[in-house]
Amino acid sequence: MTAKLRVALVFGGSSVEHEVSLTSARSILAAIDRGRYEVVPVAVTKEGRWLTGPQTLAFLQGGGQARAEGSPSALLADPSVRGLVALGADGATGGAARTPVDVVFPIIHGRHGEDGALQGLLEMSGLPYVGCGVLASALGMDKEASKRMLRDAGLRVVEYVCLRDRRWERDWETAERMVAEGPGIPCFVKPSNGGSSVGIVKVKTAEQLRPALEEAGRYDHKVLVERALEAREIEVSVLGNEDPQASVPGEIEPVNEFYDYHAKYFDDRSRLLIPASLTEGQVREARRMAVHAFRALGCEGMARVDFLLDRQGGGLYVSEVNTVPGFTPISMYPKLWEASGVPYPRLIDRLIELALQRHRRNSRLETSYGAGSGRGSAP
Task: Please identify every residue annotated as catalytic.
Answer: 17, 196, 265, 304, 306, 320, 322, 326
Q: Which of 13, 316, 19, 14 is nearest to 196 (CA)?
A: 19
Cis, peptide link before residue 186, omega less than 30° from 0 = yes
State which amino acid sits at residue 56.
Answer: T
Nearest-5° angle of CA 21, CA 22, CA 26? 115
Say how many CA atoms lie within 13 Å of 340 toward its Cβ.
23
